[in-house]
Structure 1
Amino acid sequence: MYAQIWTKYLPIIRILLKRTKQDNQVLDLNRIDFERLGTGRKAGYKFTIEFKNGKVANLISSSALASDLASVMLDDANTKLILEGGEFTVSLNTKFQLLIKGVAAELPAATEE
């Protein structure tokens, strides 16, 4: 449902994943993109995804928003390569800010955008 929106943001998310080596990253999203599709007003748009060695490490199946983001990220070869290099947390807050943290990351030397 949300995959098309996440695909639009994926190049920026990939860059921010790489930058987590220096510091945590924040991406301000366009609330309207999500509300147009949304079933999330009642359930809320908050979630946290934990990636460990290129796999989702926590339960996100109850959130279509989180599940679609994880699928889009793992289906992209370059993003998956970054995720395989460590542990990352990707979370969305109620202000439509995507927070990206590198818990323990070894970023690959050469990844193309």
Structure 2
Amino acid sequence: MEERKYLLTWKRYLPVIRLHLKKSVNEDQSFKLNITDFESAGDRGKSGYTFNLSMENGKLTNNISSSAVARDLYEALKSDELIKAMLVDKNVKISVGKSFLFSIKTSPISIYK
């Protein structure tokens, strides 16, 4: 199995993700991904590139093992110090749908948990 084929693609998107992640504290954010960036990295065929990724305090809270695209995104996010700092004390949900719309929803972690 080929590993990390989307990592380089995600790393190129990190500056844009950083910007939207920062803004997502005030309102949900979304932007369009370039499908050819991902198709040139690897062909997902019918399974597509859609996924949901949930994090609490920067730690993964859902299973993304079946999605190489999501796994590589999480790896890219973890390797970026600025993004890691933005994830502290927050719940972050990232999703990519069939139309290649990258969405970020951020909420603070309740201190009453």
1:101 to 72, 95, 105: 105
Q: Do 1:55 and 1:84's aligned partners in 2 also have CA atoms closer than 8 Å?
A: no
Do residues 86 (structure 1) and 90 (structure 2) align? yes
Cα drift, residue 103 of structure 1: 2.9
Question: Which SS does the other structure have where 1:21 is aligned?
Answer: coil
Q: Give, in whole Å, the separation in 2 of the partners of 1:14 and 1:85.
A: 16
Which residue among 71, 76, 79 is the counterpart of 1:75? 79
Shift of 1:85: 2.8
Measure, in 2, the Cα distance between the counterparts of 1:103 and 1:71: 21
Q: What's the TM-score, normalizing by structure 2? A: 0.88
| Unpaired runs of at least 5, structure 2 | none
RMSD of aligned alpha carbons: 1.4
Q: What is the Cα deviation at residue 51 of structure 1?
A: 0.8
Mapped to 1, the partners of 2:63 and 2:107 lie a distance apart of: 18
2:72 is equivalent to residue 57 of structure 1: no
Asked if 2 retains the 8 angstrom alpha-carbon contact of 1:47 and 1:93, the reply is yes
SS in 2 for 1:62: coil
List, as ranges, runs of 4+ consecutive aligned residues in structure 1 with deviation greater than 6 Å.
none
**Superimposed CA distance per residue, residues 73-97 of structure 1 (whole angstroms, 9 cap, x where no aligned partner):** 0111110111123100000011111
AA aligned to 1:77 is E
C-alpha contact 2:55 2:61 (8 A) present in aligned 1: yes
Do the aligned partners of 2:92 and 2:105 also contact (CA within 8 Å) in 1?
yes
Paired AA for residue 76 in structure 1 = D
Shift of 1:39: 2.7
Instruction: Report matched runs for 1:22-33 at 5 Å.
Output: 22-33=26-37
> What amino acid does structure 1 have at the position aligned with 2:49?
Y
List alignment gaps of at least 5 residues for structure 1.
Answer: 106-113
**How many pairs does the alignment contain?**
106
TM-score by length of 1: 0.88
Quote the residue 1:66 is aligned against: 70
**CA positional deviation for 1:37:** 2.1
Aligned to 1:6: 10
